[in-house]
Structure 1
Amino acid sequence: MIPSWMVIGAVTFLVAVGSFFITPRDVKWFAQLSRPRWLVFEPFIPLIWTVIFICGAASANVVWLHNPGSVITWLLMGLYILVEIITVAYIPLMLRLQSLKTGEIIGLSGFMLAVLLAICVLPISGVATLLLVPYLLWSPIGTYTTEELRQMNPEDA
């Protein structure tokens, strides 16, 4: 049997690969937006999200190992995947629609679902909940950054 951490890691990776469906035209639009001066960490965002996804996968694995195969565990796995899909959809949808408002809505939705996930996971495992903290801290930063981009680029909001 394949270890749960390998299956969860593979699913996390496959969902994350979905963010690569971006055309050069879309990237060009985003690259031309004005940015706040404090946005010096932009080159590190892919690394930050990679760490967050690894933490999320580790959290899911802890939950899975607590009660493998139960209905509640499967529902939580679905919620983990939903949070990741929404997170990964942020860039392609925002860029395809050339709408910062879309990005902000997706970012806020992902954060709210991650809060729900953390609340559901807390009674099962404190460690699994702690592994969700990087997402819960970073997601609002990304959403706030998108709001700042909207303010600086009202024609692209």
Structure 2
Amino acid sequence: MNAGIMIAIVTLLVSLGSFLIRPKEDIRWVKRLDLPRWLAIVEPAIPVIWTVIFTCGAISAWLVWRADPGSFKTWLILGFYLLVEVVTVAYIPVTLRLQSLAIGTVIGGLGAVLGYGLAIVVFPISPLAAVLLVPYLLWSPIGTYATRELIDFNPESI
């Protein structure tokens, strides 16, 4: 099977994984949270933002694959991409299941740090692949900050 198609399939399956793990009581918890005004304005755009981020990430991974297909180093880097995606996608189900904004902040911060590390590793292989990670590198800290700010609005949900 074509590597680009495999990367797209894995990206899609992992990104959809968080939608499968949303018990109703967890959804009720998140709907009760007080939101800062700016977040309520941005919230409708979040699915589009994440679609762009995951698409750019998949294209980035494909460019890294094309640079050195099948090598051990390339497989390790693709594993790094997968780790970043899994940590990113884990944010929603783990935060909801534990009903803890503090845990969400930690997961978001970890995802941001891993994303920056991935960009550093990828840049020498393909500067364009690193540039395609910029949407994630910009949005991930914003999402982490938003989660941290939610703690101020909902101190009982730490």
1:4 matched to which residue of 2? 3
CA distance in 1 between counterparts of 2:130 and 2:32 reads: 38
CA distance in 1 between counterparts of 2:33 and 2:44 reads: 15
Amino acid in structure 2 at the alignment position of 1:148: E
CA distance in 1 between counterparts of 2:95 and 2:138 reads: 21
1:74 matched to which residue of 2? 75
Amino acid in structure 2 at the alignment position of 1:28: R
2:48 matched to which residue of 1? 47
CA distance in 1 between counterparts of 2:84 and 2:154 reads: 28
Q: Secondary structure of the residue that 2:109 maps to in structure 1?
A: helix
Task: Note the alpha carbon deviations across 1:101-152, whole angstroms, 9 max, x for none.
Answer: 0100000000100111000001001100000000000000000000110111
CA distance in 2 between counterparts of 1:121 and 1:73 reads: 10
Q: Secondary structure of the residue that 1:22 maps to in structure 2?
A: coil
2:12 matched to which residue of 1? 13
Amino acid in structure 1 at the alignment position of 2:120: I
- Structure 1 runs of 4+ with >6 Å offset: none
Q: Secondary structure of the residue that 2:37 maps to in structure 1?
A: coil
CA distance in 1 between counterparts of 2:44 and 2:29 reads: 17
CA distance in 2 between counterparts of 1:68 and 1:80 reads: 15
CA distance in 2 between counterparts of 1:91 and 1:60 reads: 23
Q: Once the two structures are aligned, what percentage of the paired residues are identical?
A: 56
1:38 matched to which residue of 2? 38
1:85 matched to which residue of 2? 86
Cα offset for 1:59? 0.1
1:57 matched to which residue of 2? 58
Aligned length: 156
Amino acid in structure 2 at the alignment position of 1:10: I
Q: Secondary structure of the residue that 1:54 maps to in structure 2?
A: helix
Structure 1: give runs of 5+ residues left out of the alignment: none
Cα offset for 1:17? 1.7
Q: Secondary structure of the residue that 2:33 maps to in structure 1?
A: coil
TM, length-normalised to structure 1: 0.98
Q: CA RMSD in A?
A: 0.6
Instruction: Check if 1:151 corresponds to 2:142.
Output: no
TM, length-normalised to structure 2: 0.97
1:122 matched to which residue of 2? 123
CA distance in 2 between counterparts of 1:38 and 1:18 reads: 28
When structure 1 is superposed on structure 2, of 59-68 and 23-32 the one drifting more is 23-32
Structure 2: give runs of 5+ residues left out of the alignment: none
Q: Secondary structure of the residue that 1:123 maps to in structure 2?
A: coil
